[in-house]
Chains A and B, each alone.
Chain A
Amino acid sequence: GEDVEQSLFLSVREGDSSVINCTYTDSSSTYLYWYKQEPGAGLQLLTYIFSNMDMKQDQRLTVLLNKKDKHLSLRIADTQTGDSAIYFCAESMGGGGADGLTFGKGTHLIIQP
């Protein structure tokens, strides 16, 4: 199966909170990441969490990490139309080094007015 799994689509109403979930497999990952890709653009590093933390908050973004279950989530408070994008969860393979990141298939966040 895939190393990193996430749902392909999430639809939320403008102003509500969005929660995007991800499961990963490599317990040696030093960091876990969320990237954002807007239409026609590259991947923007949105936020990341160190593997020995269980929560990180950055303005409207909250990242939760459950190492036991290998579960990562991204919560976007007060979702706006500008948040419409594909959100990729990623883990570093082998704890870093030249192996790069393994990405999930991306969650398309759709905002309803």
Chain B
Amino acid sequence: DTAVSQTPKYLVTQMGNDKSIKCEQNLGHDTMYWYKQDSKKFLKIMFSYNNKELIINETVPNRFSPKSPDKAHLNLHINSLELGDSAVYFCASSHGGEKLFFGSGTQLSVL
């Protein structure tokens, strides 16, 4: 069984659309994250969330919003998609903020 799974693997959409990426972890971890990897392979944290706090990277536009229906899921909603949002988005989870385990990524292409 995949420990951290995210769907879809590929997402191609038009500018201005709203889309969501889903993430689920079956590791029993208490913290989940979203990272963005750009075309140069640089990784930046976007959000981290546990049942106590949501930490938002201040550089993330408010068009991006995480939604956590329960501690095993952290979905990423993106409104009014822009060309610059094209990237690979990785979900991850951890227990206590150490040893993050990553999903296989969602490649988002905005046309």
Chain A contacts to B: CB under 8 angstroms: 30-31, 33, 35, 37, 41-45, 48, 86, 88, 92, 96-103, 105-106
**Contact indicator A41/B104 (Cβ below 8 Å):** yes
Q: State A51–B74 Cα separation when bound (angstroms).
A: 30
Tell me the count of chain B residues lying within 8 A, CB to CB, of chain A: 27
Kindly provide the distance from the CB of A58 to the nearest chain B CB, expressed in whole angstroms: 14
Residues of the A chain whose Cβ atoms lie less than 8 Å from the Cβ of B97: 92, 96-100
Chain A residues contacting B31 (CB-CB under 8 Å) are 98, 100
- Which residues on B sit within 8 Å (CB–CB) of A103? 42-43
Give the CA-CA distance A103 to B50 in the complex, in Å: 20
Given contacts A31-B99, A42-B102, A48-B99, contact A98 B40 (CB under 8 A): no
B residues near A (Cβ < 8 Å) are 31, 33, 35, 40-43, 45, 48-50, 52-53, 55, 90, 92, 94, 96-105
Q: How far is the CB of A22 from chain B (nearest CB, A)?
A: 14
A96-B96, A100-B100 given; name 20 further pairs at CB < 8 Å.
Answer: A30-B98, A31-B99, A41-B105, A42-B102, A42-B104, A43-B43, A48-B99, A92-B97, A96-B98, A98-B31, A98-B50, A98-B97, A99-B45, A99-B55, A100-B31, A100-B35, A100-B92, A100-B94, A105-B42, A106-B42
CB distance from A34 to the nearest CB of B (A): 12
In the complex, which of the residues A35, A99, A100, A101 has the most CB atoms of chain B within 10 Å of its own CB atom? A100
| CA gap between A92 and B35 in the complex, in Å | 14
> Which residues on the B side are within 8 Å of A37 (C-beta)?
41
